[in-house]
Amino acid sequence: METDFTLALHDQAGPIGAEAVAGCGWGLDHFGGEHVLAAALSRSTPKRYEHRLTLAITDRRTIVNGWSSTKGGLNDIRFCVPHDLITRVEVKDGILANHVKLFVGGQVYELGFTEITEPLGKLFTALAQLHPQARSAPPIPLPEVSATDPAAARAGAQSLWRQDPPINQAMIHIDQLVSGGQIEAASGYDFVCRLLMAHRSAIAGPGGSPALGQTWLSPMSAQDLGHTLVGIYGPPAHYQVTDGWAWHQFRIDPNRDYLGAVLSALGVAAFVGLGFGFSPGAAIAHQLLKRDPITSIRVGIRDGSACSMYVVEGPRGKLENSDANMAYRLHQALIHSAYRVLERRCVLGWAVEHAALFR
């Protein structure tokens, strides 16, 4: 059996943190500036099967997700613990017991990363001694418009978390359009917010809204998001609109790697593989041998403020409950597809049909 353990901090924590976020089912508050501070991956491959446990510690909460290519295993491990709700911490670092447990009311959450019991224990013990309001960073407001920066594009470019030439260039273009009177300042600010979400999602993982629970956010419009999904899975087998949500039912051929093809085309295959020897093709083969294959998914989409909202359902409710790795790869495909879509929207505007964006 091969085993790997990786601990990543700050700028290096994004890829692993994104896997934990997607698999847990609670998106990051990108409009509120939530950061991933640290992430860990524990991976083992007994008998050529894959078992992965990922951890993301943000400036507000701790997220854990498990995934196995076989039935059972780590597939039902997923939780999100807001730091201000922790009531007690138990640390055991010895031969007979080795764990860190977080108590939230009557619930107990075991982190499960024995390789770093000591530093995790110190961190959460110290955190629990703080007043609950001091355990989480306050939301960071989005850049504000001003008389000299009417769409907040210049402030947005300065607030990028790291160098991101496509997003920076798009910010410059929006600023020029607004300054030249070619688009309204409000439309420009809408673009700036979407570009910031795309940037932060690519770095740290998919976004969500604290007020909306397990609803994901995309910087694309609902129409563009729907067309992107059709580009991945083909036309939906069933489509309906209910209470403002557009529901797409996609049939899935379990012998076809839809997401691998899209991610390779986008040039992000190495990002998804994390560089730790993970093989999507091998995982799919293992899944077919041991797990019930997913033959359909249902995606609900609607427009939001400077974003679209979406939910993805599988055989067991939310897709991550059935296959956390598939959910992770789907989110990554949508995040990186958004870069191309937003780039064209900044140039061509919203009136152009999606099919004409890349002609």
Region of poorest pLDDT, from 79-83, 96-100, 151-155: 96-100
**Mean pLDDT value across residues 310-329:** 94
CATH of 2-134, one of 2.60.40, 1.10.3470, 2.30.29, 3.40.5: 2.30.29
The whole-model pTM stands at 0.92
**Within a 10 A sphere around the Cβ of 2, how many other Cβ atoms?**
9
DSSP β-bridge partners for residue 297: 250
Alpha carbons within 13 A on the beta-carbon side of 154: 10
Q: Which two tokens stand for residue 129?
A: 């001694």
- 211 or 235, which is more confident: 235
Cα dist. 119→51, 66, 124, 142, 290 in Å? Answer: 23, 21, 9, 33, 36
Average pLDDT taken over every residue of the chain: 91
Please classify residue 91 by burial: count the beta carbons closer than 10 Å to its beta carbon, then call 0-12 exposed, 13-18 middle and 19+ buried.
Answer: middle
Q: According to the model, what pLDDT value does residue 85 have? A: 97
pLDDT tens digits, residue range 178-189? 999 999 999 999
pLDDT tens digits, residue range 240-249? 999 999 999 9
Q: According to the model, what pLDDT value does residue 94 have? A: 79
Domain boundaries along the sequence of the chain: 2-134, 153-204, 207-356
Per-residue pLDDT band for 271 (boundaries 50, 70, 90) equals very low
